[in-house]
Structure formats: C-alpha cells, structure tokens
Amino acid sequence: MDDGSVADLEPLRQRAEQWVADDPDPASQAELRGLIDGLPGTAAELADRFAGTLTFGTAGLRGPMRAGPNGMNLAVVRQAAAGLVAWLRERDGHRPLVIGYDGRHQSRAFAEETARVAAGAGRSALLLPRALPTPVLAHAVRLLDACAGVMVTASHNPPQDNGYKVYLGAGLGGPGGDGAQIVPPADTGIEAAIRAVGPLSAVPLGGNYSTLDESIVDSYVERAVAVLDAGTVAPEQRAALTVAYTPLHGVGAAVVRATFARAGFAPLAVVAEQAEPNPDFPTVAFPNPEEPGAMDLVLRTAVQVDADIAIANDPDADRCAVAIPDGTGWRRLHGDEVGVLLADHLMRRGVSGCYATTIVSSSMLRALTKARRVDYAETLTGFKWIVRADPHRLAFGYEEALGYCVAPHHVRDKDGITAALLVAELAAGLKAQGRTLADRLDDLAREFGVYATDQISVRVQSLGSITEMMARLRAKPPAALLDEPVVSAEDRAPDADVLTFRTSAARVVVRPSGTEPKLKIYLEVQEPVVGDDVAAARDRARAALAALGTEIATMLGL
C-alpha cells in the first residue's frame, strides 16, 4: 500500500480508532494502538487488518491470531458468539450450547468468552473440562442433546492461526446433521446474525456457565471402544500389537492412550517430544501429518520399538495418519489407502449400510462397494457433506485428506481416534495371521488393480491467482491426458467451483481450497496387475502419476 498523505490515511485511522474503542481485550487494544501510532510507516499492516472481516462459512471462522476485524481475537470471537446465540435463539429456545477447545494459543480464552456470551443471553452453556480433541465435542453435542456445539480449533493450520467451528444438534441439523458441522444456509444465516451484532460493549456477559466433568470424556472413550468387534480380534492379539504414536503437540494423547488401554491394546510408544500440547509446535515445520517431515519423530520411535504400525493424529485429533514398514524402511500410507483398508475391513466384518467418500477421493471405494454389493455415495469435499450422504444408513465415510468416520452413530464427523483404533484392530488381526497391512493392500490390488492417487497444492499470495487458473482451465480444458482422450469433462459451477477431467484410466479434479489460499489438484491413475506382479503395477502407476502432474502443472503455467 502507498503510504500516501496523512489525509489519505485518515479514514483508516478513524476506523481503527473506532475498533479499539470497542475492543474488549486490552492486549488487542495495545497491539492496534501501536500500529495507529506508527502511521504512516505501519499503513500497509494496519490496512491489512482492516481490509475485510473474517467471514463465517461452513468451516466457521479460521485465520491468524491478531487484533482487528481480519484476525482471530477476543473481539471477533465475542461478535461471532453473539451472532450465533442470536441465530440459535430464533430456532431453539432452551437446549444447551456445548463448547470445546484445543491447546492452541487463546483457545481456552475464546471458549470461555463464548460461554460468557451464551450465559449472558440466557442460554445454558456447557464447557468441556479441558483442552480435548474435536471428536469429543462432536460426541458431546449428541450425548447432551445440545442445540449446537462450538469447537475452538484451527486443526492442522500453522501455529499462528486459530478457528471456530460450529456443530448442530438433532433439532437444527436434522437426522444427517445431528452432531455434524453446519451446511448452507446455516452459514449465511449465522454470518448475517454476526454482522447484525451492535457494539461489543453492549453484548451481555454471564458467568453462570457450567464446566463439565470427566464423565464426558469417559463416555466418548466407552463409545469409541465399541467400534471394535470382539469376535474379530482376540484380546491377546490386540495386546501383541506394537504401535508408535504421536499427537503432534496436540490434544490427542491422553484420550488416545485411554481408548487404546480400555480396548486391550499394549501401551502406546508415544513420541516424548510431542506428547503434551504445545501451541508453538516446536518440532514440526507444519503441524499436519500429511506434510513432509511431520511424522519423522514417530517413525524414529517406530524403529526404536520395532513397531508394527505408526500412527499420528493432527493437533485436534480428528485426522489419522498411518505408516507401515515396507522392507527397507517406513512409508506413510496415503489417505485413500487407509480409507479403502478400513472400508474393506468393515465390510468383511459384515457392517452393512452406505459407504461414502468425496469426488476427489479414490475411485477404488466405488469398485469395492460394487463388488461387495453394498451401497455407495459420493459427495462434495468435506465431512459436512459425507455424513449427510445417507442420513439413516451411513456405515462409513472417508476423504483422502486423512479423515475417516468409522462410527457415524458415535461421532458424525471425521474422528482420528476411532479410526486409529480400527486400523489397530485390522493390523492386529493380520499380525496374528503372519500378515501386514501391506499384504492386505496387495490383496486388494490383485482384485481391483492399483488405484494410485496424489495431490498438488499450489499456495498463492492472492486469491485472484486461483480465479485466473480456474478460468484458464475452463477456457481451454485438456483434450487428452497421458496421451489418452478425455472422455468426460465436468464443471460443477455454480454449485461448486470444481472441474473434473477423466480418461479411461485417469482422473484429474481441480478446486480451490475451502480453508486456505491454495489451489488443489487431485490426480488418480488406474493400473491393472499383470501376472500377479503388484510391484510392477505400482511402479507404472507412480510413473503415470508423475507424468500426469507435469501435464497439469504445464497447463496451469506453474
């Protein structure tokens, strides 16, 4: 931004002064006061703080923790809570609001502020007893028959971020949305209510909210363990499995340990450096188990303890990553590999119902459900859609970004803890047979062929760059991919900004991220297994994926 004259900066200064006067947090007031006093040299930074407001969407709020309307701070949270409570008052007059939080900076303060706003409006507010995983909050919404739930978390975002997710109870979410994240038009309704909130100093606050006790955690653990099948894996087989685990400095360790112990597994080998919540995430560059290097310490631990599998949760424990020994070292399984393994395991256990995934996940689940004669559903990305795929018969849902719903009757959202339990059950049963998860993946490849998937994420500074790339693909879609003709090209606009291109053995899906300034490109190729040589088919698939990625990157000018 051009610093310009003092007169040019006066509207910005006035807006900032007005915000400071209504900001309830002295620390935020001082932060903005420093920027105001630093004008004109601080003009660009101050303008960015007031360039817009964090908008409430189906992912709730998420952004960097900083003062001003374009950041996560106490003022923005008070406004969001007041708008949410007003929206709820028009639709549900009596049931409680349950509130959870993770271990990030300010999470507890934001949760307590939400509870005070709810209590001040006369709504019963129930605060979880401590920093806990997101699945515990989702479970609590249903268990307590709440009108809604708020989870203060930025999931696997960078340390400087925080966020605010909203779940609805049965009365407002309907059968498929009981304990699920909001979907339109609830997001726009809540956003409108937030914008209608007057001065923050006029928002009534109450101190008579309740803090729940540990029985809510015990309830979650008890229901989580019920995902396992006593007839599938014997107690001694569970106890024989060695699991290396990391919560990646998040809030998962205590609940995961308790759940695995109650299920009869041996004590987990937890990465000591990452076992306790730490909002600075000091040992990882990015607290997302999908990112390169994020699982290095748990893989080191796995080698030290001669583990059978390694598991990582993201910081709020709603995602689950799995790694396995591959003969020469350890390799992380792709989310699609874990998703298909879990679906196959549940089907072989006789779990009936609908198996759902998204338009960007592997096509292999469709092939698996067809062969096993069970129902299949495909949705837009996001668990808010997956759990609504078949509200009354959903048995399992997953998305390639390490999200799995293995017990929709328990948590109607992705749940990295029950997913970890089910992975462990599968691995323990295979170990008792002298086999591994890799062996089961080979079995599935022989039956269905190799479905190999990959993703390209293009992080941008300006969202306009994403718009330009999508427009370029719409104006000139590919006629061929990997020297094979494109047999279908699907544009889901205006309902969704998603482009899909298919050949007889490849698929490309392109869409903007819903939570980050990224363009996401999902690649898939299929290779038959010839002469029982699974390794050769995987080699061909890897080469084809690399070539496909290069083709798409060239088309987008990357």
Is the CB of residue 309 less than 8 Å from the CB of residue 423? yes
Is the CB of residue 134 less than 8 Å from the CB of residue 320? no
Phi, psi of 341 (to 5 degrees): -60, -45
Upstream peptide bond of 133 is cis (omega within 30 degrees of 0) = no
Tokens read off for 79: 């406004």
3-class DSSP state of 130? coil
The tens-digit pLDDT sequence of the chain (558 residues) is 444 455 579 999 999 999 999 999 999 999 999 999 999 999 999 999 999 999 888 778 999 999 999 999 999 999 999 999 999 999 987 899 999 999 999 999 999 999 999 999 999 999 999 999 999 999 999 999 999 999 999 999 999 999 999 999 998 988 889 999 999 999 999 999 999 999 999 999 999 999 999 999 999 999 999 999 988 999 999 999 999 999 999 999 999 999 999 999 999 999 999 999 999 999 999 999 999 999 999 999 999 999 999 999 999 999 999 999 998 899 999 999 999 999 999 999 999 999 999 999 999 999 999 999 999 999 999 999 999 999 889 999 999 999 999 999 999 999 999 999 999 999 999 999 999 999 999 999 999 999 999 999 888 877 788 888 999 899 999 999 999 999 999 999 998 999 999 999 999 999 998 767 789 999 999 999 999 999 999 999 999 999 999 999 888 888
Closest Cα to residue 106, out of 138, 77, 140?
77
Encoded amino acid at 17, one letter: E
Which distant-in-sequence residues (6+ apart) come within 8 Å of 533 by Cβ?
Answer: none
User: pLDDT (tens digit, 9 = 90+) per residue, 125-137?
Assistant: 999 999 999 999 9
> Which stretches of 186-258 are assigned E, i.e. beta strand?
210-211, 243-246
Closest Cα to residue 101, out of 59, 66, 130, 61?
130
Q: Report the C-alpha gap between 65 and 46 in whole angstroms.
A: 14
3-class DSSP state of 546? helix
Percent of the chain residues topping a pLDDT of 70: 99
- Decide the pairing of beta strands 394-399 and 403-405: antiparallel
To the nearest 10 degrees (0 to 180), the angle between helices 215-225 and 253-262 is 50
Q: Report the C-alpha gap between 175 and 389 in whole angstroms.
A: 11
Which helix H or strand E contains 63, and what residues bound it?
Answer: strand 61-64
3-class DSSP state of 144? coil
Catalytic residues: 155
- 3-class SS string, 469-481: HHHHHHHCCCCEE
Which helix H or strand E contains 40, and what residues bound it?
Answer: none
3-class DSSP state of 314? coil
Tokens read off for 191: 């956003």
